[in-house]
Amino acid sequence: MLQDGRVRIQGVERGFKISIIEGFVSVFASALSGSMIIPFFIRLGAGAEELGLYTALTMALVPPSQFLAALILDRWRANRLKLMTFCALAARLKWLLMAAIASGLGGGLKEAMVLNIALLPLENLAGLAWSDLIADLVDPAIRGRAFALRNTILGLASMLGFTTAVAIYSLPYPLGYIYGFALGAVLLVATVPLLYLYGDPIKPSGGASLRLALKAVDWRVTLTDSAAMAAWNSSVSLVGAIWTYHLFNVIGADESWVALLNVAASLTRMVTNVIWGKAYDRFGPKGVVKLAGPWIALIPAAFPHLRSLSGQLGLQVYATFLWTGFSLAAFNYAISVDPAYRHVYIAVYNSIPALASSASSYVGALVYERYGIVAFYISGVARLAALALLMRIISGRGVKYEELNLSANFYRLMFVSRDLVAYAAVEIFYAVKLIYAVFILLFLSWLLFTVYYVALKLIGSFPLKP
């Protein structure tokens, strides 16, 4: 619980502690693979319109796959641990296929995009089961700080992963993508057994019919929350598909830029997660959104005018600090509903904003192709308008400590930073143990990959040159 203002890993199930280890390795692996998917598409020849269409299709697939996932999870909710594990395994194997495409063994841009879109339903089912399960592994009274602590440790993994990615993706194309995707796949698949070790302390009953599942939902709260998030996500998605495209083709970045920007983001997230976690527990979701939201609106307006790596790094630190608080509030707000219909709420909460984002991402790509950077200015103005709606709808749900008026108690935030050194000492203690285990796993994985590489080189089937 809490002692002298410090975070303790108490009041949580053993599975949550295992999730920190699993998350550490998975985040490291995702930094090597998932973060480079859009640059990979650009390398394969994708333009702004193709990226906009891909993003739109990806978002459009979220509602049906989320509802299907909710129905499956509702029917077999007692087996949500197995559903999460097996769907995650199938979804993570795609990175082996992406490595094959990068190596030239078959397929191109179209096949890579189709592969990522086709596996989204499995990823959504695994993610929905994970969200439903993880909420039951933490005492609600310390949920904000527990997830902030987990996110901080995972931020260290992300920083290490992106630092490794700088070296890997500095290799000539396509070797960087082959190594990055292959190593990411090996690590992601290796952590799947840890997902099953989460355990399920509750094992909620399943088998409810569609009618009963829908009847349990508080539709007024669910639809108003989803509508507010739809407006916000749409304003952000206006430039989601073209952000990396502009960075590569106009500003002149390459994969090393992307990796360095991600390192900066990971470091910032790791340092600020605990601050935002404590702010959330004390001020609630509305207070955190009120603090971070208005400044997020400035990000797209500044982005196209920062044409140096140092400028983009500064913007990345600024943006990550704000998005860390906003994302933590949005996640904890979503999982704090009545457990009886939490899985259905999360499905709707994800689906309606995704559908709106699908349209806005493609519209944003079209606006960008015709009017250029005006699309970024439109996104900034739209974020302010969406924030006004969000602030009218979002409630204080999920606050476990006294509800405080943010403006009347703003001075308290100045004292949050005083605990940062104490928090860091606790986190480093656990992180060192995790890092030791992770590096042993990395060494063994690299050894296996080296044997595989040498064997293929000897038979002459490994692509040694771009």
Q: What is the pLDDT of residue 451?
A: 63
Q: How far apart, in whole angstroms, are the C-alpha atoms of residue 97 and residue 103?
A: 10
Q: How far apart, in whole angstroms, are the C-alpha atoms of residue 53 and residue 56?
A: 5
Q: How far apart, in whole angstroms, are the C-alpha atoms of residue 45 and residue 357?
A: 24
Q: How far apart, in whole angstroms, are the C-alpha atoms of residue 194 and residue 323?
A: 28
DSSP structural state of residue 6: E
Burial class (CB in 10 A: 0-12, 13-18, 19+), 157: buried
Q: What is the pLDDT of residue 418?
A: 40
Burial class (CB in 10 A: 0-12, 13-18, 19+), 419: middle
Tens digit of pLDDT at every position of the chain (466 positions): 334 434 444 445 678 888 888 999 999 999 999 889 999 999 999 988 889 889 888 888 877 887 788 778 877 878 888 989 999 999 999 999 999 999 988 889 999 999 999 998 898 889 888 888 887 887 776 776 777 778 778 878 888 888 899 889 989 989 999 999 999 999 999 999 999 888 887 777 665 555 665 666 677 878 888 888 899 999 999 998 899 899 998 999 888 888 889 888 888 887 887 788 778 777 778 888 888 989 999 999 999 999 999 999 999 999 999 999 998 888 878 777 777 667 677 777 777 888 888 889 889 999 999 999 999 999 999 999 999 998 888 765 554 433 333 333 333 333 333 444 444 444 455 555 555 555 566 666 666 666 666 656 666 544 444 4
In this structure, the number of other CB atoms found within 10 A of the CB of residue 37 comes to 18
Domains identified in the chain and CATH numbers: 15-459 (1.20.1250.20)
Q: How far apart, in whole angstroms, are the C-alpha atoms of residue 22 and residue 314?
A: 31
Write out the two tokens for 414.
């100045």
> Which residue is associated with the tokens 């015709």?
370
Read out DSSP for 293-351? HHHHTTHHHHGGG--SHHHHHHHHHHHHHHHHHHHHHHHHHHHTS-TTSHHHHHHHHHH
